[in-house]
A and B are shown apart, each in its own frame.
Chain A
Amino acid sequence: SQQGEEDPQALSIQEGENATMNCSYKTSINNLQWYRQNSGRGLVHLILIRSNEREKHSGRLRVTLDTSKKSSSLLITASRAADTASYFCATDNGGGADGLTFGKGTHLIIQP
């Protein structure tokens, strides 16, 4: 079953603009992760935020987590054409049983 639900499903912006993607989930988590997938390829881990953290930065990425609202956001600043990809949030309940539970993703297109 899907745990995370990303919003929007698709996003098209101009190069240099900021892109914001949101994720909502349903059950308690140990951590939440964001992954990137270039067309038809494997997923690449971007960032992990633990349930006791509220914000985390990594380069041009900023992730927030609100456990009271069961939501997270991923902000990509100063977007580049190479950022065009699908972005997935994934929740980790810490039990290992199904690895991570992924949403359906946000397809981000950066117009040059």
Chain B
Amino acid sequence: EAGVTQSPTHLIKTRGQQATLRCSPISGHTSVYWYQQALGLGLQFLLWYDEGEERNRGNFPPRFSGRQFPNYSSELNVNALELEDSALYLCASRKTSGRTGELFFGEGSRLTVL
């Protein structure tokens, strides 16, 4: 069974540009979570998608947005990039039932903003 896959692995952008990150959950998982991990920090919750809908977002500005497609894959968009957006962006999936339990993580997309 394939795990959670993320692309691209690395992305380099300049200030003001836009970045798009992609995630494919484990087959059968309908919930997708996005986290930001800045250097030396813990994981900060960004967005939760479930059954194609945005269910919750963390304390991030509106230029962080995304969507979930009918096949449950997801996309994270970051507009008007700032230097502090440089981080590892992690996607995780989970079966919806019970909305609790283990999260399965991808390997992450490392975004560098110059």
Contacts and interface: CB of A to CB of B under 8 A. Distances in A.
Interface residues on A, range: 20 to 34
Nearest to A2: B42
B104 to A, nearest CB: 7
Contact of A104 (B42, B45, B50, B110): B42
**Chain A interface, DSSP helix/strand/loop, else mixed:** loop
Contacts of A45: 102-104
A31 interface: yes
Interface stretch (B12-20, B63-71, B77-85, B93-101): B93-101
A97 B56 contact: yes
A90 to B, nearest CB: 8
Nearest to B39: A40
Nearest to A46: B102
**Most chain-B CB neighbours within 10 Å: which of A1, A31, A97?**
A97
Nearest to B57: A98
Given A42-B106, A96-B31, 19 more contacts: A30-B100, A31-B100, A40-B108, A42-B90, A42-B107, A43-B103, A43-B105, A45-B102, A48-B102, A90-B103, A95-B99, A96-B50, A96-B99, A97-B56, A99-B31, A99-B35, A99-B92, A100-B103, A102-B42
Contacts of B43: 43, 88, 102
Interface string A1-42: 110000000000000000000000000001101010000111
Interface in A30-86: 30-31, 33, 35, 40-45, 48
Nearest to B32: A99
Interface of A: 1-2, 30-31, 33, 35, 40-45, 48, 88, 90, 92, 94-105
B55 A96 contact: yes
Contacts of B110: 40
